[in-house]
């Protein structure tokens, strides 16, 4: 047998294309959960809502329906943190820290 001709078991290998991952658009349930979170946090001004959402995504968003499903978790946690923004009445920054340090856990 010559090398120029394919052999009996020299089958052409199928070309495997890498799967294309597309972002899932935001669902109506997720939109409702974002709006509910804004209401619970007391964020009613549309420009403030836009600022919160824009702080979570890199691309420019003009409508909530332009968000992807993957953006929702980060937006909800940012809304929660934004809603808890209150200045402590007294004490130092050390006294008013949010998380315990390893010393506090001893």
- pLDDT tens for 35-64 read 999 999 999 999 999 999 999 998 898 999
The yes-or-no verdict on residue 2 having pLDDT over 60 is no
Domain contains 35: yes
Q: How far is it, in rounded angstroms, from Cα 33 to Cα 15? A: 43
Number of domains forming the structure of the chain = 1
Domain contains 93: no
Query: Which pLDDT does position 88 carry in this prediction?
Result: 53
Is the Cα dihedral 101, 102, 105, 106 positive or negative?
negative
Exposure letters 85-105 (e unless 16+ CB within 10 A, then b): eeeeeeeeeeeeeeeeeeeee
Domain contains 57: yes
Query: Which pLDDT does position 3 carry in this prediction?
Result: 64
Domain contains 2: no
Which residue range is the domain that position 43 belongs to?
28-81
Domain contains 9: no
Domain contains 62: yes
Q: Which range is most confident: 14-18, 95-99, 100-104?
A: 14-18
Domain contains 69: yes
Q: How far is it, in rounded angstroms, from Cα 54 to Cα 104? A: 36
Domain contains 33: yes
């Amino acid at each position: 047998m010559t090398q120029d001709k394919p052999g009996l078991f020299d089958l052409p290998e199928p070309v495997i294309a890498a799967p294309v991952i597309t972002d899932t658009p935001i669902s109506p349930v997720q939109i409702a959960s974002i709006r509910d979170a804004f209401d619970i946090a007391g964020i009613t001004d549309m420009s403030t809502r836009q600022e919160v959402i824009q702080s979570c995504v890199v691309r420019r968003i003009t409508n909530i329906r332009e968000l992807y499903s993957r953006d929702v978790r980060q937006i909800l946690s940012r809304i929660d943190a934004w809603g808890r923004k209150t200045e402590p009445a007294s004490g130092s920054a050390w006294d008013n820290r949010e998380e315990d340090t390893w010393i506090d856990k001893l």
